[in-house]
Copies of this chain bind each other. A is one copy, B any other.
Amino acid sequence: MPTYHAKVFVTLKPSILDPQGRTVERALSHLDYANVSGVRVGKYIELTLSGERAEVESQLADIVENVLSNPIMENARWELEAVPMQEGREVAGA
């Protein structure tokens, strides 16, 4: 069965305050990186799905919307990439 590697990016909507990002920004300004602004901290989730592409895509859209993100406060986008058969069991380099 084909295997797909998915990358999911979840970010707070621009109108939502991001205290974690503000904290990072303040820390950076104390470290003399005064030219840094607009720090926003989101989530980056990797997962592997097996199945036919169309089915996997619809599953992933469901998972991203219902499990991995909160559509009220967050935006989410995802990328799907087929895993070549012979590499299906390999682990990406450290």
Contact = CB atoms under 8 A, between A and B. Distances in A.
A81 interface: no
21 contacts: A10-B44, A11-B44, A13-B94, A14-B92, A14-B93, A14-B94, A15-B94, A21-B45, A24-B45, A24-B67, A27-B67, A33-B63, A35-B49, A35-B59, A36-B63, A37-B49, A38-B48, A41-B45, A42-B44, A42-B45, A43-B43
What is the oligomeric copy number? 2
Interface in A10-38: 10-11, 13-15, 21, 24-25, 27-28, 31, 33, 35-38
Interface residues of A, number: 40
A59 B34 CA distance: 11
